[in-house]
Amino acid sequence: MWPLRVEKSDFLLKIYGHYPSLDDVAVTELVVSRDGPSVRLSFLSSVLPYKPPAHWNNFNRVSLGMHFVDVSSISISKFDRVGRSRISMWDQGSEIAACCDGATEFDLRFRHLVIDRISGVLSDELES
């Protein structure tokens, strides 16, 4: 589930037609910055868009980057080097809540969610 307030989501919605499932992703980066404060999250997804850009050519995963801005709380309890995770996000009053379970586990509260990167990649990261 995605929150109602997602900034810079036009390209994501254009290529998918909807917000894609985040039930099976491989988290590749989680960066916490005191400026903002903010958190940047990068992950690979095997949920492929129905209308990918032609210049993506050969790809079997989508790499997404999210920027969580005005973070009020964060708790990171696990960050394995490999493995799959499930990301959930929802509106919670004036904030947005996010949690991740699986190989990476975190809980996060923030005010703004920005999609800052989407690209097609060729990867075997999520293979069984």
- Among 66, 78, 8, 62, smallest CA distance to 39 is for 66
Pair 118, 48: CB distance under 8 Å = no
Range of the domain at 27: 10-57+71-115
User: Does the residue 109 lie in any domain?
Assistant: yes
How far is it, in rounded angstroms, from Cα 116 to Cα 106? 20
pLDDT in tens, 106-124: 999 999 999 999 999 998 8
User: Does the residue 3 lie in any domain?
Assistant: no
* Percentages of the chain per state (helix, strand, coil), in multiples of 5: 10, 50, 40
User: Does the residue 2 lie in any domain?
Assistant: no
pLDDT in tens, 62-102: 999 999 999 999 999 999 989 999 999 999 999 999 999 99
User: Does the residue 52 lie in any domain?
Assistant: yes
User: Does the residue 80 lie in any domain?
Assistant: yes
User: Does the residue 76 lie in any domain?
Assistant: yes
pLDDT bucket at 127, cuts 50 / 70 / 90? low
Q: What is the pLDDT of residue 1?
A: 78
Q: What percent of the chain is modeled with pLDDT above 70?
A: 98
Averaged over 5-28, what is the pLDDT? 95
Total structural domains in the chain? Answer: 1
Pair 120, 51: CB distance under 8 Å = no
